Structure 1
Amino acid sequence: MKNTFIGKRLMAFKYAGRGAWLLLKNEASIQVQAVIALVVTVAGFYFEITATEWVLQFFAIGLVMATEGANTAIEEIANFIHPERHPKIGYIKDVAAGAVFFAAVIAIVIGCIIYIPYFG
């Protein structure tokens, strides 16, 4: 079954799950994002947000976590290829971190759009 289309998809899913676990286990930034995701999920139940708000909230959570995971992978590759400090590697890592920044800002805006009305 390992060499079938379905078998290969199942193995890919297994590897992706392992990667997600490794991120959660080893990366402080992902751990912080996971705690924030848990807090806003609890807040969503508490405030009984709408289905559309749930979709936006989960989109924002997924966007930040996925971008953070890609950033971590880019940093690990860069460190592996060139362990010493190098301006081009620094630039690559800064650009990857900038992508996380954009995702986080959008997530904060989405969170404000969802939750500020519940406090008003």
Structure 2
Amino acid sequence: MNNPKFSIIDRIKSFKYAFNGLKFFFLNDHNGRVHLLAAIIAIGLSFYLKISSLEWVAILSVISAVFVTEILNSAIEKLADVVSPDYHPKIKVVKDLAAAAVLVAAFLAVAVGLLVFIPKLFL
């Protein structure tokens, strides 16, 4: 197995590629922009309500989980469209499963948001 030397330049390039992916995601994915708006609202509300450190961890964790699953969902959809440009029932299952992962993460984010914000807003 080839073991190339560690290169700072290559590590910096890898960050560039990752940031390019984020830029592409937020510019081209409608759901990504919806999740970004929800994240901005949640973070703003978190500052306004002066939530605890543990609550910040919970809010930021679920925001990250939603973004990660949505980005992976988008990547899977793009790859599936290349592999099978025409409708294929097995590709549909793959896309549906990826979308389900986003839905689970979004439900978790809503549940955590309700647990953190409702007592501070209404109790």
Gaps of 5+ in 1: none
* Aligned partner (choices 15, 18, 32) of residue 17 of structure 2: 15
Q: TM-score, normalised by structure 1?
A: 0.95
Gap runs ≥5 in structure 2: none
Q: Deviations for 1:65-97, whole angstroms, at most 9, x for unmatched residues?
A: 010000000000001110111100000000000
> Partner amino acid for 1:27?
D
Return structure 1 stretches of 4+ with deviation > 6 angstroms.
none
State the aligned residue count.
118
RMSD value, Cα: 1.0
CA–CA distance in structure 2, aligned partners of residues 73 and 108 of structure 1: 24
Aligned partner of residue 86 in structure 2, secondary structure: coil
Q: Matched residues, percent identical?
A: 36
Find the counterpart in structure 2 of residue 111 from structure 1.
Answer: 113
Pick the aligned partner of 2:68 from 66, 69, 93. 66
TM-score normalized by the length of structure 2: 0.92
Alpha-carbon distance in structure 1 between the residues aligned to 2:114 and 2:46: 12
